[in-house]
Amino acid sequence: MALPILTFDNIAWAQSEQNQIAASVNLVSDWVWRGLSQTEGGPALIGEVKWNHQSGFFAGAVAANFSSDRGRDSGLALIPFFGFNRTLAGINFDSGFLHREYVGARNGSIDELSFSAAFKLGAISLRPGIFYDLHHYLPGHPTYLYVDGRTKLTQIGDTPVSLSVHLGSFDAQGSANDYSTWQLGLSAPAGGITYAVKLSNADIDASRAQLEGSRHGGTRLVLSAFKLF
């Protein structure tokens, strides 16, 4: 079971000024991660818990249901992670390690290192970053380069509407698993819940790629409801 390196749309990486524990639940119509569906186009419930220390250290875990379009496996994805987050000279640096265990799947264990830096350009928040895979499940060590952007688009009454953009490139050493992806999203809070609609595309070769979700790439539309506790 070959899996693309993953990022966390629902994890807030901001450094905390005090020790705190946060949890969130995200209900999505399709679990699309880096342009590829992890649920064969079906819905998913994604839960996360995270502990932030005032020193910048953080640790937590993500859990979600998954359904494979390669081996017809299904089960629970468990993703524990830890790292360090610090802001220097107005730039937020984040480095971390995560382990992905797909319970119920064959060969579903992957370890990754990550690094990113966030800054603002006017009203736009940007975070470029990289994920580096420690396993040889594909030729070499695959990497995922990305840039996330977010800005307030408009205000409807008392409700702010935000625009998000994600651009990514998966490099599997020139194999058929190489692909690029983009995502555009609109989100707005209401009653303590953030609702979002996201349109994404992944130009992966579904007939040749070995990545999990490669048969469910292309253009995808996702609706979600996110609650932070």
Could you tell me if residue 11 is inside a domain?
no
pLDDT, residue 206, reads: 66
Could you tell me if residue 107 is inside a domain?
yes
Could you tell me if residue 65 is inside a domain?
yes
Q: Which of 10-19, 47-56, 131-140: highest mean pLDDT? A: 47-56
**Contact of 221 with 199, CB cutoff 8 Å:** yes
- Residue 11 per-residue DSSP state: -
Calculate ∠ Cα 208-112-29, nearest 5°.
65
Q: Which of 48, 57, 54, 47 is nearest to 95 (CA)?
A: 57
Could you tell me if residue 219 is inside a domain?
yes
- Asked whether residue 219 carries a pLDDT value surpassing 50, the answer given is yes
pLDDT, residue 188, reads: 97
How many domains does the structure of the chain reveal?
1
Calpha distance 133→215 (Å, rounded): 22
Mean pLDDT value across the chain: 85
The structure tokens listed for 91 are 């730039």
3-state secondary structure 130-196: EEEECCCCCCCCCEEEEEEEEEEEEEECCEEEEEEEEEEEEECCCCCCCEEEEEEEEEEEECCEEEE
Query: Which backbone phi and psi does 195 adopt, to 5 degrees?
Result: -100, 145
Cβ burial, residue 90 (10 Å; 0-12/13-18/19+): exposed
Task: Select the more confidently predicted residue: 87 or 68.
Answer: 87
Could you tell me if residue 83 is inside a domain?
yes
- Asked whether residue 71 carries a pLDDT value surpassing 70, the answer given is no
The CATH number covering residue 197 comes to: 2.40.160.40
Task: Select the more confidently predicted residue: 66 or 145.
Answer: 145
The whole domain housing 212 covers 20-228
Q: Which of 205, 210, 194 is nearest to 28 (CA)?
A: 194
Could you tell me if residue 8 is inside a domain?
no
Could you tell me if residue 7 is inside a domain?
no
Any residues with CB less than 8 A from the CB of 11 and at least 6 apart, and which? 48, 50, 60, 62
Give residue 160's identity as a one-letter amino acid code.
P
**Contact of 111 with 132, CB cutoff 8 Å:** no
Mean pLDDT in residue range 22-35: 93
- Asked whether residue 54 carries a pLDDT value surpassing 60, the answer given is yes
What burial letters (b/e) apply to 105-128, b meaning 16+ CB within 10 Å? beebebebbbebebeeeeeebebe
pLDDT, residue 98, reads: 94
What sign has the CA pseudo-torsion 60, 66, 42, 40? positive
Calpha distance 121→106 (Å, rounded): 44
pLDDT, residue 74, reads: 79
Could you tell me if residue 40 is inside a domain?
yes
For 72-126, write each residue's pLDDT tens digit: 677 899 999 999 999 999 999 999 999 988 876 666 678 999 999 999 999 999 9
pLDDT, residue 207, reads: 65
pLDDT, residue 140, reads: 72
